[in-house]
Every structure is written in structure tokens, then in C-alpha cells.
Structure 1
Amino acid sequence: MRNIEIEKEHADLTANERHFVRFFEADNMNRSQYDNVPLYDKDAVRLLPCSGVSDFVHASKVITSGGEGGYYIIAQTPLVNPSKPRIDTQYNWLRMLWEFNVYVAVCLVNLGHESECDYYFNRSKGETYKVNNFEITTLDVGTDVNWSWTYYRLKISRKEGKKRYERVIQLVVCRNWTDDPRFSPMNYRDLSDLLNFVWSLENDSASQRRAQHGAVGERSVLHPFGSQ
């Protein structure tokens, strides 16, 4: 005799298992900062199909209380100067920002640090950085009064056929952030000011996202920049 309740319980448990099949596919591990921090399949970000290019990016959706479709993205930063077996991840990073209509990005690593994050834009106002069919122009640069973070307003454009489309992204780089548990990343006042500043940049449009990028793109790491 079948036990419907047991079968249902087993089905529910199986559905909630944390698999990471795609992490081990092809060269996806070589697109990841750490081999021992797998990207779970559940709520993983998947890029649109693109001929000759992987759809993998080390990033996850974090579901919020923002109603239907409410989530923000936690993503691994582009790898610095990738060499074999590591693979260049700048292009897929920009594809993610574009395809998921990211409007605000928060960086919790040291940009340009040899072991943490590659530059995907130019820090000087008015300069343009190119990656494949993307162009990123730095429109504005500013810092807070305590030098805790730097703000960049970036214009990202993408050429599709004969047309070029443009968007603006607000990027906030936390200058004093650290993942070292022995140290506090920021004092409470600076962290509170930073959170309020990030939230003030957000657009109410449900179609625009926030992306937070650090050393990895997995939700098991504590991330303070969730929705209000």
C-alpha cells in the first residue's frame, strides 16, 4: 500500500536539495574564483544563449519580499588577469549587468587587487573601457565625506547589429570592506550611511535590479545589502 504522505514528504525534500551540477560542467569551475565554493543550481543566474560563449556566471538570485519577481543578485567579481586554467570572466559579467538590467551595483572587494577583482571600467571621469561589443564610459566620480566608499556613474552601451543601445549604472565601491572575521569591515555609522546611500540610488521599477559583487556569488556568504 502506498503511503501518500511519505511520498509527498520525500518529493518535497528532493525538490529542496542543493545541487551544483552546472558548477562542474565543462570549464565552469575555471570561471570561478574558488574551487571549494560551488554555485548551487537553485536560483543561480543563467545568461541568455550566445553562440560560442558560456551562459555560466558565478552569481545567485536572492529572493526578497518585493513581490513577484523581487530579487537582487550576488555575483563573483571578474577574475583578475586570468591564466590557464582560469577563463576571462569580464564579458559574461557585463552580459549579466546588461541582461538583468542592473541599475545599482555594490562592490565589496578591492578593485584591481591582483587576487580579488579585475577592472571592468576606467576610474577616470570621461574615459571609456571596451570589452567585446560593450563600451563602459565613466560619467561621474565622487566619494563620501569619510572616504568610506567611492561612487561611479557609468554609461554602459552595447552594439547589436548596426545599433548601439545605452544604459546608466550606479556603482558604489566600499573602500574599507573586508571579509576577514578578525576585523570589522566598517564602523556602524559609515555602514548605515552607505546603506542609505545605496538605497537612495535605487529605482522603484521592478524591472531594474541591484547587483552586489564580492569574492564569490553564493548566498551562503553574509551580504548586508538586501532590500529595505
Structure 2
Amino acid sequence: SSGGRYLEMLAYFDISEQEKVSMQKNVIAEDVDDFIGRMTSMGKSQMMADHDNMHRKQRHIFSFTENLMKNRYKNIVLFDEGAVILSTGKRDKSSDTYIHATNIKTKFGNYVLAQSPKPETLNDWYRMIWQLNIAVIVCLIPLSTKEDCAKYFERKVGKKLKHKRFTIRTMTTRREEDCNIYELKFSNKDFKEDDRMIHLINFTKWKIIVRPPEPRKFLAMMRSVWATEASANSVGDDKTSSPTLVHGVTGTRRTGTYVIMSMLCRQMSEHHQISLLKVCSRVRHFRYSVMRNRICFTVLLESVLVFAADQGLVDRSNVDFQNAIKNIRNAVTIEEQ
């Protein structure tokens, strides 16, 4: 039963027991004689296939190193694999294709994880939004300082912001629990008859990374995003293929936590299953530094457990559930983050 599977999942959070188990036991191995036999029978083709398989898993940062001025931090690299590549038009240099953003497409969501715009990358930011037909933006910082994020929209209704060929006007705004939700009209001089609507959800309760939000507030924000995505995808042309743009400052810590949480919650909602480490590993493969921070990991763990209980997949009065929550909260201190 789904309840049984989730009780098995809770055993993952028994930290003391996990520490007794060597990770080496989880490595898939083959008998030495079988290995030699396989190499003998397959010969050169097997060796070349094994080498090619290893090489495919290698990641590169060529574009990152060639565009250092566009990056917020020199130690938060962008992998070429999965990176958003900007198309160029008559107003752009043919070589101006770089932006610090990663597109991850999965059956549990289509996302762009991005560094927040800098003043000198604001035009690239708008180009990406236009090119990818972005209809929903999730901003996970309170936008209280221009150092964290260049202003790319106005907060007051009726105000507009112009930048080169782009104009973005704030049409409506409302407060929903811990989110400010904006409806924006986005225009491009090169496509005068193609004004677009963008829905922006600004979550304001995670200003300092070591002071994360309560899981229930984080989940409430996620549900607001889901509802907005459903609404945005029900109108307009070809919106179903439009990714959701998610950003904080670096596009790795808060951003990665939200994206993985959303993917796992959709998996639980649709299939009553969870693939915690598999999903984390997939996102980390394409976006550097995601889940590096232990506090982000504990926020993720508690949030998905609370969601599982909300879905009725596990009984929140169950002792294992309660112990799992307790272990998560005690697993890391601010000094260890």
C-alpha cells in the first residue's frame, strides 16, 4: 500500500541508523569473473562503449568562463549542459547568447533555474523571458535590495518599466498569505502585436538563507504557483510548453529547493511515490550547487513529508512520522549549514 511505502521512506530519516550503514553497500557491482568474461566477449567495442558512457557524464563550463562579467559569483558555475542559449536578432550581437540559467524538463515540471538579473544582464533577462514564452515567474527573495536583484518590474499598479526594446507594465497586484502576486504585461517592439501576460509570485519569507520558512508556508506558496500555472496554461497559445522561471539570487539554493520540492510533490500527488535522491541528483546534474546547503536539504525533507501527510499518504499521528520530523529538525545547526 502507499501508506506502507511511506513508512519505509520514513526510515530514511532515522539518522542514527543511517550512520551505521556504509554507502559502499549501495554501489552496484558485478563479479570479477563476469567482468572479465564481458570484456573478453565484447572486446574493443565494450571498452569504447564504457569510455563513451563515462564521457557523456562529464560536464563543461566553457560558456561560463567566457562570460565572467555576466555571472554574479565566480564560484557558482553554469554547466553548458542544460544551459539556456539565447537566440539573437538584428539588435543583438551574434555571440551574445549567454545567460546564467538552466532549463530542466521533466514529467513533473518544466523549469528554468536562473541567477537574478544584474543591471548589465537585464536585457538578457528579458530576451530569455520572451524567447521561452515565460508565463509564470517565481521570485524567492523579498526584493529589498538592488544588490540581490536588478529591478525588472514595477510593484505599483499602472507603472511600467522600459529597457531597450522591452516594456513591462504592472496590471494588477494582490497579497496572498506570504506572497505578493503580480500580473504583468510584457511587450517587445520587434513584435508589436504580441503583448504577453506574465504572472509573478514573489515569496517574501526567505530573506536570509539560514532562516528558512516554515514548511507549511513554503507549501502554501507552491500551491499558489501550481494554481497560477494551471490558469496560465489554460489560456493563450502554446502555453503548455512554457517553463516556469524560478530565481533567488544565485538560482541554486532557494531555487533548487523549490524546484525539487515541486517535482517531488507532483510525483507524490500523481503516483503516490517519491524518488528523493534520484530527483535531487537529476537537478544537481544540470544546476551546480543545488542542495549543497544542508539547511536547504532539511527544508526540502520536512516539506515533502508534510505534503505526504496532507495527501493522506502517511498518518501524521504515526510515531515514525513524528520521529522523522524531529530528526530532520535536529539534524543540522546553523553552524553546520
In structure 2, do the counterparts of structure 1 residues 33 and 217 end up closer, same or farther at CA, with 3 Å as the change threshold? same
AA in 2 matched with 1:62:
I
Aligned to 1:7: 48
Partners of 1:191 and 1:218 in 2: CA distance: 16
Deviation at 1:144, TM superposition (A): 1.5
Cα gap change, 1:173/1:221 in structure 2, threshold over 3 Å: closer, same or farther?
Answer: closer
- Cross-structure match for 1:170: 199
Aligned residue for 2:102? 60
Letter in 1 for 2:220: D
What is the Cα deviation at residue 179 of structure 1? 5.5
The 5 A counterparts of 1:29-44 are 29-44=68-83
* Equivalent position SS for 2:222: helix
- Find the aligned partners of 2:193 and 2:124 in 1 and give their Cα distance: 18
Structure 1 runs not aligned, ≥5 long: 83-87
Q: Distance in 2 between matches of 1:189 and 1:8?
A: 47
Deviations 1:15-48 (A, max 9, x none): 11011111111xx111011011110000000010
SS in 1 for 2:195: strand
**Local SS of the residue matching 1:106:** strand
Residue of structure 2 aligned with 1:127, choices 159, 177, 189: 159
Deviation at 1:206, TM superposition (A): 2.6
Greater RCO (CA < 8 Å, at least 6 residues apart): 1
User: Match of 2:125?
Assistant: 93
SS at match of 1:91: helix
What's the offset of the Cα at 1:217? 3.9
Paired with 2:112 and 2:98, the residues of 1 have a C-alpha distance of 14
User: What's the RMSD between the two structures over aligned residues?
Assistant: 2.2
Give distance in 2, aligned partners of 1:177 and 1:219: 11
Deviation track 1:46-95 (CA, whole Å, cap 9, x = no partner) reads: 010233271111000122115xxx6210011111xx5xxxxx01110011
> What is the DSSP-based 3-state SS (H/G/I as helix, E as strand, rest coil) of the residue aligned with 1:173?
strand
Partners of 1:218 and 1:13 in 2: CA distance: 25
Matched residue SS, 1:102: coil
Provide the residue aligned with 1:209 in structure 2. 243
Offset, 1:107: 0.6
Runs (4+) of structure 1 exceeding 3 A deviation are: 217-221
Over 3 Å counting, the alpha-carbon distance change for 1:191 and 1:160 in structure 2 is: same
Q: Displacement of 1:183 after TM fit?
A: 2.0
Distance of 1:75 and 1:132 partners within structure 2: 21
Deviation sequence 1:171-201 (CA, Å, 0-9, x none): 0111111452x322x1122112111110001
Calculate percent identity across the aligned residue pairs.
29
Do 1:60 and 1:219's aligned partners in 2 also have CA atoms closer than 8 Å?
no
Counterpart amino acid of residue 102 in structure 2: S
Which among 22, 35, 40 is matched to residue 63 of structure 2? 22
For 2:170 and 2:202, the matched residues in 1 are separated by 14
Secondary structure (helix, strand or coil) at the match of 1:224 reads helix
Corresponding position of 2:258? 224
Q: Is the 8 A contact 1:110 1:116 kept in 2?
A: no
Greater fraction of residues in strand:
1
TM (norm. structure 1) is 0.85
- Structure with the largest fraction of helix: 2
3-state SS, counterpart of residue 39 of structure 1: coil
**What does residue 85 of structure 1 align with?**
none
Letter in 2 for 1:141: T
Aligned length: 211
Q: How does 1:121-160 map to 2 (within 5 A)?
A: 121-145=153-177, 148-160=178-190
The counterpart of 1:183, out of the listed 194, 199, 211, is: 211
Q: Using a 3 Å threshold, how does the CA distance of structure 1 residues 43 and 7 change in structure 2: closer, same or farther? A: same
| 1:110/1:117 contact within 8 Å kept | no
